[in-house]
Amino acid sequence: MISNTEKMYPAVLLLGPTGSGKTPLGEIIEKRGLCGTPCRHFDFGANLRDVVNRDRPDGQIGLEEIDFLKGVLQSGALLEDEHFPIARRILQSFISHNGVDGTTRIVLNGLPRHVGQAREIDQMLEVEQVIHLECTADIVLSRIRTNIGGDRADRDDDELQTVRGKLTIYRQRTEPLLRHYIGRKVAVAALRVTAKMTPEQMWEELDERQLPGLRRLTEEPNSW
């Protein structure tokens, strides 16, 4: 149950397949802002890995849930609707520990990953903009192989078969988020990603645009 004392925070969603550069782009947006507004990068996959690597309950995530998340990371599966409360607690913890307020935007990376999750997120955050990183499978494999984004060195889930499985899940479950947000009148900005495109080049291209849908932020976020 969502408390009436909680706030609706503005957010931008980075949408793209594994290897397209979401994480390094999100990190640069956090450092430099987006369209003149400070941002906080919420990398859901990194947060999941932190929970699993810590391997102990923390008052938010229990031991049984940690074991469940280990299987999710190993298989590349998605958190289905019945498991969204785990994702909600992780996101709420991020908001409370990272100085998120009415003057900042949350940059969502890895959550939501399907329409069921998006409906839950729509009750927590005001997604103002979707940045769609358009990237073919061949380009994904090239970017992962060369680590052009600089974020793959410590990953243990970049085997070819695993990546292909993730791409299939992305096409089937995650790309339909575009229709979901277009249906909600959320602006979508397409960014065509190449094999050699760096995170800095992505940010520069976005920063040069007047991204539609981004409102001027006030001191206080909207109430629920």
Q: In the 3-class helix/strand/coil scheme, how is 171-211 assigned residue by residue?
A: HHHHCCHHHHHHHCCCEEEEEECCCCCCHHHHHHHHHHCCC
Query: What's the whole-model pTM score?
Result: 0.88
Q: Which of 218, 206, 4 is nearest to 104 (CA)?
A: 218
d(CA 166, CA 136): 13
Q: What 3-state class would DSSP assign to 79?
A: coil
Question: Per DSSP, what are the bridge partners of residue 129?
Answer: 12, 187
Q: Which stretches of the chain are DSSP H helices?
A: 22-32, 44-54, 63-75, 84-97, 115-121, 137-146, 160-169, 177-183, 199-208
Class of domain 9-210 as given by CATH: alpha beta
Task: Provide the β-strand partners of residue 34.
Answer: 37
Question: What CA–CA distance (Å, rounded) separates 8 from 207?
Answer: 25
With beta carbons less than 8 A apart as the criterion, state whether 167 and 18 touch.
yes
Which tokens go with 41? 């990068």
How much is the average pLDDT of 14-31? 96
Rounded-to-integer distance, Cα 78 and Cα 76, Å: 7
| CA count, 13 A, side-chain hemisphere, 143 | 25
Instruction: Indicate whether 63 pLDDT > 90.
Output: no
Distance CA 214, CA 165 (A): 34
Q: What pLDDT does 218 receive?
A: 59
Residue 219 in this model has a pLDDT that exceeds 70 = no
Q: What is the pLDDT of residues 179-193, one digit of tens each?
A: 999 999 999 999 999
For residues 42-71, give the mean pLDDT: 84
For residues 111 and 117, the answer to whether their CB atoms sit within 8 Å is: yes
Max CA pair span of the chain: 47
Q: Would you state the pLDDT for residue 7?
A: 58
Q: Express each pLDDT in 91-144 by its tens digit.
A: 998 998 898 887 899 999 999 999 999 999 999 999 999 999 999 999 999 999
Residues of the chain above pLDDT 90, percent: 57
> Long-range contacts of range 200-204, CB-CB < 8 Å, 24 or more positions apart?
200/28, 202/21, 202/25, 202/28, 202/133, 203/25, 203/28, 203/29, 203/32
Contact call for residues 107 and 40 (beta carbons, < 8 A): yes
